[in-house]
Chains A and B, each alone.
Chain A
Amino acid sequence: MIRIAQSALLSRHRFHWPEALFWLAAVAVYFLFPQYLAIATTVLIVALFAVSYNLAIGFAGILTLGHGLFFGIGAYCAGWIALLGWTEAVSGALASGIIAALVAGALGPFLLRLTGLPLIMVTLGVSVIVYEAANKASWLTGGDDGLTGFTMSPLLGAFRWSVFGDTKYFYALGWLFVLFYAVKRIVASPFGVSLQGIRENALRMRLIGTSTLRHLVIAYSLSAGVAGVAGALSAQSNAFVGLGVLGLDMTIDGLVIVVLGGIGTLYGALIGAPVYMLVKHFAQQWNPFYWMFVVGALLIVVVRFGRGGLLGMAQAGLAWLIRR
């Protein structure tokens, strides 16, 4: 199972100085690579999605292969909220996240009774169903053409959504910052610790009096809410929602990032997202199909040899160096 040092469990809610590096790096990117702000914004959004996926799969142990569903719901909600005339971005994203969380809360009591293969299968099945339904319901989703033609009003009434993308970038960074620390608090709370207990041994948690299903449903909706906000950010910053947000690719991207960064480690998503998105960006320019080899090999190598992902490997390497 996933190893957690006891000290890490107790000190997890504290602020660690190395964390500041990520936020500093994110701000530095704005000044150093202004021409790459569009892809950098995508990286932040995908990182937020990975944070939410990690909350479900890494901390609560919910083996879901359908998390992209909530990203997609968030994206379409944000698109429609803007199309209906409410163009304020922050509340739009918040409302989209809440809707995604409500959907997860409604599905959860049915899905989360299952474990293992049936759970994987049903979550995958549900996301395939919704994708097909969205494809058919073009009055709602725009079908293949997607939702377009909405513009957001200036952020907080002051910052216009310029073509340079700096408003988008800091908007996404702000959401990632706030929700990352929210998830961090959740994970370190008694609720979060009991989620990890359920992940390790659901039966034992039930025997000591935890209502496991309720815990899992709450975790699932919280995670879906964060994923919904990520989807909303993608809709608002691209001013476009396509069927791709509901596709399996989105889920797989999030999953690979979580695995790459280290399942059940909070910072993993923050480190995995830039690495994965950059590799993907350049590998796809090289040849889109060799990309499949890269993803497959990455997954197999990290799962087989690198317990704890890049971060775990780095820690192990560091420990090895210190021992020498």
Chain B
Amino acid sequence: MNDPMIEVDGVGKTYDDVTALDDVSLSVPRGTVLGLLGHNGAGKTTLVNVLTTMLPPTTGSARVAGFDVVRDAHEVRSRIGLTGQFAAIDEGLSGADNLILIARLLGASRREAKARAAELLDLFDLSAAANRLARTYSGGMRRRLDLAASLVGRPDVIFLDEPTTGLDPVSRIGLWEVVENLVGDGTTVLLTTQYLDEADRLADAITVLADGRVVAAGTAAELKAQVGRRAVHVTLAAATDAPAAMTSLERAGLQPVHDAPHNAVSTPVHASADLAVVVRALDDAGVEVAELALTEPSLDDVYLALAKQKIAA
């Protein structure tokens, strides 16, 4: 674990007068997942492009699998897999031929390439469509083929740039499971996402980017502790119940906030057990509840909390 597979040291990238990355540093130990969290334009893809040798950094340096991304780009490329935001597959070839092409380019013999392609098609449930042109694949199938393509060379480090964007929920969970299995086999993963739940589910550590800078880093739990916690939102059946609801929740030791325009009361909670506390308190006070929801902090909450901390500091 004390052998980082991705090391980023003060990397900056500027185009003309736009700063895409500004003094970014991070480190990812072998066999772990780093979630790179940020909105569109935060610099996630630029960092992935630097780490996959597609784009030279303006300042700083980065090593992947122990090799410098600029000086030893070839060595880096023979150890990484990349799945970008848009499926990079050859539509004029069949699914199998797409994978065979990559295996052959990596130096596999025809026989090895075929075996590897069959193995991956099976893993991604594409065997039935193996000989169909990729042009005829659905969006989810393209994504799977694309991910399979990035795994052909059994890479040490995999870069997944917003891998679940545009995927249906079932495919999304399926992809998460594939990532978890890869990590189980010792692969190191850098995953960019806009979704806190995705980073929460997959990442051992999270780095938050905003405007090209690292604004927070830590485990999901650490980030959430900074952000504030989960909250329970209660929509009341009758507006007149609001004072009673507020009093009962305060008495239960919570810090409720009245959201008058939505005729709702919300309160931060620490654990799932607090949900029961909320329900019991409202029930005891005879408050009728129209809707009750437990919400997780979102990426926006992370940004808001970080902005607040900055102002406070």
A pairs with B: no
> Which residues of B line the A interface, CB within 8 A?
none
